Amino acid sequence: MSAPPYVRALEAAEFIMGPPSIKGIPLWRGAGLRAVRLLIEGFLTLVAQRDEAEVVEHGFLASAEANRQVFGSYANVYELVVVPGKPGMQFRSDNIVSSVGLLRREGRRTPVVSVGSILRDSPGKTPPLFRDRNIWPVVELNQLADEGEASALLDFYATVLEDLLWSIGIPSITVKTPELASYGKTTYLTVAVLPNKRPTVLATLYVLADELRLALGERHDVIDVGFTGKLLATAAMVHADVRGLALPSTIAPVQVGVTLAERGDRAERWLAELHGAGLRCETAFASGSGGRARAERSWHRRSVPLVIGLDRTTGSVTVCTRSPLHRAELPDLPSPQQVRDLLAGSDARLAGTAKRLFDAAMDEGEYLRSMCEPCAEAADLAVFGVVVPSPRVRCERCGDSKGQRLFISDEGRFY
């Protein structure tokens, strides 16, 4: 059975290894690692609008007993029978026990962000980065909240996640749901849509349920915000064209692919200027129209948003943008600002296409309704949750001004 298109695109872009693959354990390659690093940097920058976070990576092995005390026994964790010198260990299945322990020991109020992998047994299908055994990256933020502050903090992080997703061209909404009450006394899900127009959860945000909080030995409210590499898988599904993976410049490991006929001072000076301005450029050498076409396809396959070819004819500058594919001659080498503008145009096209997909999905699936509580009950809607922030809106059924934006899910919980 051949891999789904997004997996083949990620493989062709050298983000993950192709076959032979290990079930549930995607292996990341250099370009994918760079994209993940850019995504995490983007997250930390957004978090720092409020508090600077410390980034940690917990060990690969965790105490099975400490985990059992908090979560009881889970069937899908790997407990290890014999680890010399380390009895009672498991492959790390969660970060919260270690992270909250760290926050408490240090009495810290600023967030800690753990970045690493967790292992879970996943029987059945394991589409890479959607449902894995070795889940990487797992990015999980924990923070202790003072009395009465938890809900404002959660609202802030909901905005952080929506902004992060929008920065990679993925529109989303946040839904507050009573589902998952055993984990969160307040639960927000960041919901985006896949190309098949079905909603999917890309991040979870909780104020931990009291039972878990007490099991962690914590008297303050605990914020728990997490996302995984599924963000990149979704980006790979949503942002693709005939050439392959077409990432926004925010996370594209290479933003500008430059095809040169040969080395020369003019090109070197210009490239140094682009590098100096913080633009991620790489060069390739090609001559002849066939060679240049191959180079262009190779840049595109590797997710590069902007390709610039020099000296197709002596002194010429050809700019190729994607989605749709378009080539134009420039009178001169573009300045860093012109390059940034071209990248911004490309990002806007990707985000625009994704937004139209999102809106069409919401419309056609009738996921969003505006109703007051009595009407929602009378209409027997399968209300999954309330969209946050949740200003009062006019009820579409009775016209009352105490309506809310509701997220409807006829199938109940979704992933």
Q: Which residues bind Zn ion (CB under 5 A)?
A: 372, 375, 395, 397-398, 400
Closest CB to Zn ion among 172 and 404?
404
Least distance (Å) between residue 396 CB and Zn ion: 8
Least distance (Å) between residue 372 CB and Zn ion: 3
- Cis ω on the peptide bond leading into residue 137 (within 30° of 0)? yes
Closest CB to Zn ion among 247 and 372?
372
With 0-12 / 13-18 / 19 or more C-beta atoms within 10 angstroms meaning exposed / middle / buried, residue 288 is exposed
The phi and psi torsions of 152 (rounded to 5 degrees) equal: -65, -40
Query: How many Å apart are CA 402 and CA 29, to the nearest integer?
Result: 51
Least distance (Å) between residue 400 CB and Zn ion: 5
Beta partners for 200? 192
Closest CB to Zn ion among 49 and 390?
390
Beta partners for 207? 186, 223
Pair of tokens at residue 197: 């127009």
Query: How many Å apart are CA 257 and CA 271, to the nearest integer?
Result: 11
The strand order across the sheet containing 368-371 reads 54-56, 112-119, 134-145, 221-228, 199-208, 184-193, 173-176, 383-388, 404-408, 368-371
Query: How many Å apart are CA 242 and CA 323, to the nearest integer?
Result: 9
Q: Are 396 and 408 in contact (CB under 8 A)?
A: no
Closest CB to Zn ion among 225 and 395?
395
Over its C-alpha atoms, the chain yields an Rg (Å, rounded) of 24
Least distance (Å) between residue 389 CB and Zn ion: 20
Closest CB to Zn ion among 382 and 398?
398
Least distance (Å) between residue 370 CB and Zn ion: 9
Closest CB to Zn ion among 387 and 395?
395
Closest CB to Zn ion among 283 and 370?
370
* Count of C-beta atoms within a 10 Å radius of residue 53: 17
| Residues contacting residue 207 through CB under 8 Å, at least 6 positions apart | 145, 150, 151, 154, 184, 185, 186, 221, 222, 223, 224
Provide the residue type at 221 as one letter.
D
Helix, strand, coil fractions of the chain, as percent rounded to 5 = 35, 25, 40
Closest CB to Zn ion among 149 and 400?
400
Query: How many Å apart are CA 141 and CA 191, to the nearest integer?
Result: 18
Closest CB to Zn ion among 50 and 397?
397
Least distance (Å) between residue 407 CB and Zn ion: 17
Least distance (Å) between residue 395 CB and Zn ion: 3
Least distance (Å) between residue 380 CB and Zn ion: 14
Least distance (Å) between residue 373 CB and Zn ion: 8
Q: Measured between alpha carbons, how far is residue 236 from residues 208, 230, 239, 307 in Å?
A: 31, 10, 5, 19
Beta partners for 343? none
Least distance (Å) between residue 175 CB and Zn ion: 20
Closest CB to Zn ion among 344 and 398?
398
Closest CB to Zn ion among 206 and 407?
407
Dump strand ranges (E) for 157-293: 173-176, 184-193, 199-208, 221-228, 240-241, 244-245, 256-260, 281-285
Least distance (Å) between residue 254 CB and Zn ion: 52
